Chain A
Amino acid sequence: MTSPSRGFSRRDMLKAAGLVGLGSTVLPSLSACGVGGGERHPNGASEITGSFDWKKLSGQTVRILQTPHPYQQSFQPLLKEFTELTGIQVVADLVPEGSYFTKLNTELAGGSGSHDVFMVGAYFIWQYGPPGWMEDLKPWIANSAATSDEYDFEDIYEGLRTSTSWDFTPGSPLGTGGQWAIPWGFENNVVAYNKAYFDAKGIKPAEDWGNFQQLARDLTDRNEGRYGVAFRGSKSWATIHPGFITQYSRMGCKDYEVKDGRLVAGMASEQAIEFQKAWVDLAREAGPASWTTYEYPDCTRDLGNGNAMMCYDADSATYPKNKPGASKEAGNLAWYAGPAGPDGSYATNLWTWSLAMNAASKNKLAAWLFIQWATGKEAMSKAVGTAFADPTRKSVFDSTFKQTLGAFPGYLDAFEKVVGSSKIQFTPQTQFFQTTQDWSVALQDIYGGDDAASRLRDYAASAEAKVNV
């Protein structure tokens, strides 16, 4: 058991008794801290001195907030190795994906340090960073008393390192400012397809956007329960960031451009409107029938069940479906980079689950030791052996991970084709979640019959207003 139950103690009773004084005692303390995370916490790296030692905090406990994920699952059995190495107990709380950010956002906003380490994606840094909820890890990496000599931060792909670093100035590129999280696992958004079916029909994956659309339509036969391509469509920012923004970028479209210190929305450019209209039409004619509810588990499930012939989403999300016994089509799947842009662009959006440290943590060294261990070469190599894809370290990718990819045709080719141009394709800005969810709403409205051009113009205007506060 990873979670020693605290249960119900006499201490709890005392705490409850304290409630009686709630009105008188809490009110003043709340007006000090009444609006959650108003408190700024100083960086803790400078406090760590002396020589590096894994065992420094033996006997302590580190609490981690995670969401169930292949990354997390492949690390689960390894946690005891961390405890062996450091003597630190790990309490890992899991919150399902649908509620993960509800939990995490409340916790950070509440200024609570109840979890020392949490899983985040790059975009979250843009929201959690400015209020000071995340610890800058740069000083920690630099401090030889806190970081092992073997850590080798530069081994992590550069695109990933920069994607989790920013100076919080809207429009300023990624890679500036602090290192707010360490990339742990990542994924490129490429196309997975049902190779068995393709082979049987003698079909080859489409290499450009026009052919891709045509192929998807041709593959669709609703009576057979078969359709061309699965991609996300639910009302969420997460609909935008995988296949959509990847292809959008390959088509040469931009979300924002910086002009005179202002972000100028690009979603309503002629080129962008044309692409988005085509994307929604594709969803309608060759996508899942209930597109507006589709999240990635739905997409990958349809791929695994043989309903969807292709799936334009994260490679690491489609990857588990091909493992023996995991799905009906396991063993039949293959990958390729997806359609290139008109200029041959393989611009690709990446997602990285990274580990971040809670700035309000009362146990920062333990937190850092955990992050260091989890993103280190040894642990990552071991995790790759189960279901961990894709590792963020080049050394791990090249050695251990490549060997596991024999049964995953095209996976490596696709990876290598896009990895050079794989980065966060969004312009960093603090209103990311709101403006990007609004984007998905706009696409849903177009799917529901709204005129694409006017709807996107409305959207672009409102987004521009929001990001330039």
Chain B
Amino acid sequence: MSTATAQSSPGGPGPAGPDGPDGSRRRGAPPKVSDRARKLRPYLLSVPALVVVIGILYPFVLGAYYSILNYTASNPEPHVVWFANFASVLKDPQFWASVRVTAIFAVAATVIETVLGVVIALLLNRSSFVGKIFERVLILPLMIAPVIAATIWKLMFNPQFGVLNHVFGLGTFDWLSKDTALASSILVDVWIYTPFVAILVLAGIRSLPREPFEASDVDGAGWWYMFRRLMLPMMWPYILVAVIFRFMDCLKAFDHIFVLTAGGPGLATRTLQIGAYEDSIIFQNFSRGSTYMFLLWILVFITAKYLVGVLGKAQRRAAGAEE
């Protein structure tokens, strides 16, 4: 442990003190840490997380295994059929309709939520009086479970007695018709999750260093310039984390859409996960449902890989911008 000899008072004033006459402390051989132990350090820190990953991935693997079986309720003793499920799903126009719905939903919802979230974060960051009041309640929509939130929205959407048509005088406008259901689902998603983006981005903005902004403020740089050239590059990593989480979640959107429309009318809001739910849970065609989800998983995996790559680049660039 400590080989330091007791240090007497620094004695005289001045900086000579610290090293004093007794600065000649000596020690034995200091303890060493081997190179291997050093290299192992980050891995050791990650081990518990790794265990959790593996533990949780196990059921995923099992789920993926279902997709090469012919496992249904009426065939509880299945055997391996390899890619027969994939072939039949990929030939199914309903599947491709679902891919389309999922893509539109995910892109639209993510874009709208990100733009709105960033704007709200910027507006709140102005720390005006109004902003300060609202900042406290920003998170409220997230507090209502999506299942419940969608139920409330469905009540508000109802053309007979819903409050929206009443307040806006829309008569019997059908918010959840074939043409409007997807947009309305996106609206509800935006309502629930924009605060999520806003909070992440706001926290990010607040963690930015102030100096560059002060400097450019002194330079008389315009707000837009400051935003584009300074703030945005530094905010990108935070925005991208929000985008990644939103986009991934949107690709597997289920809860609130299912409550609103059950995937209808027709196939108008049948996202991939709703399709998977129908197959796996309602029809108990487990293999087909797993095939759907496996394909969805691949889709998500590829996009995630791409987005994470973009995030990495943005982080390096942001690091550059801060220096």
Contact = CB atoms under 8 A, between A and B. Distances in A.
A234 B261 CA distance: 7
Contact of A305 (B159, B161, B181): B161
A424 to B, nearest CB: 19
B54 interface: yes
Contact of B74 (A101, A130, A307): A130
Interface in A29-60: 30, 34-38
B282 A433 contact: yes
A34 B62 contact: yes
A225 B172 CA distance: 8
Contacts of B159: 288-290
Task: Among A22, A105, A235, A440, find the residue whose CB has the most chain B CB atoms closer than 10 A.
Answer: A235
Nearest to B165: A289
B15 interface: no
A225 B160 contact: yes
Interface in B208-248: none
A290 B161 CA distance: 11
B282 A444 contact: no
A112 interface: no
Interface in B139-154: 154
Interface string A14-25: 000001001100
B90 interface: no
B79 to A, nearest CB: 10
Given A35-B66, A444-B264, A437 B171 contact: no
Contacts of B175: 290
Contact of A449 (B78, B160, B178): B178
A444 B178 contact: yes
Contacts of A7: none
A380 B222 CA distance: 78
B160 A288 contact: yes
Q: How large is the interface on A (under 10, 10 to 19, 20 to 34, 35 or more residues)?
A: 35 or more
B73 A234 contact: no
Interface string B284-314: 1110000000000000000000000000000
A449 B161 CA distance: 25
Range of interface residues on B (Cβ < 8 Å): 35 or more
Interface in A202-254: 222-223, 225, 227, 234-236
The A interface, classified by DSSP as helix, strand, loop or mixed, is helix
A302 interface: yes
A127 interface: yes
Nearest to B176: A293
A448 B73 contact: no
A337 B160 CA distance: 26
A84 B222 CA distance: 81
A235 B176 contact: no
A293 B283 CA distance: 20
B161 to A, nearest CB: 6
Nearest to A440: B264
B261 A106 contact: no
Contacts of B77: 38
B260 interface: yes
A447 B283 CA distance: 24
Q: Which of B65, B73, B154, B175 is packed against the most chain A CB atoms within 10 Å?
A: B73
Q: Considering the complex of A and B, which 5 residue pairs feature the smallest CB-CB distances, nearest first?
A: A235-B264, A289-B159, A448-B178, A292-B265, A289-B172
26 contacts: A19-B55, A23-B54, A30-B62, A35-B66, A35-B78, A105-B284, A106-B281, A109-B286, A127-B73, A127-B74, A131-B76, A132-B76, A225-B160, A227-B160, A234-B264, A288-B160, A290-B174, A290-B177, A292-B261, A305-B160, A305-B161, A430-B73, A434-B283, A434-B285, A441-B266, A447-B265
Interface of A: 19, 22-23, 26, 30, 34-38, 98, 101-102, 105-106, 109, 127-128, 130-132, 222-223, 225, 227, 234-236, 288-290, 292-293, 298, 302, 305, 307, 430-431, 433-434, 437, 440-441, 444-445, 447-450
Given A127-B284, A437-B282, A437-B283, 12 more contacts: A36-B76, A105-B282, A109-B73, A127-B73, A130-B73, A131-B76, A225-B161, A290-B160, A290-B176, A448-B178, A449-B178, A450-B266
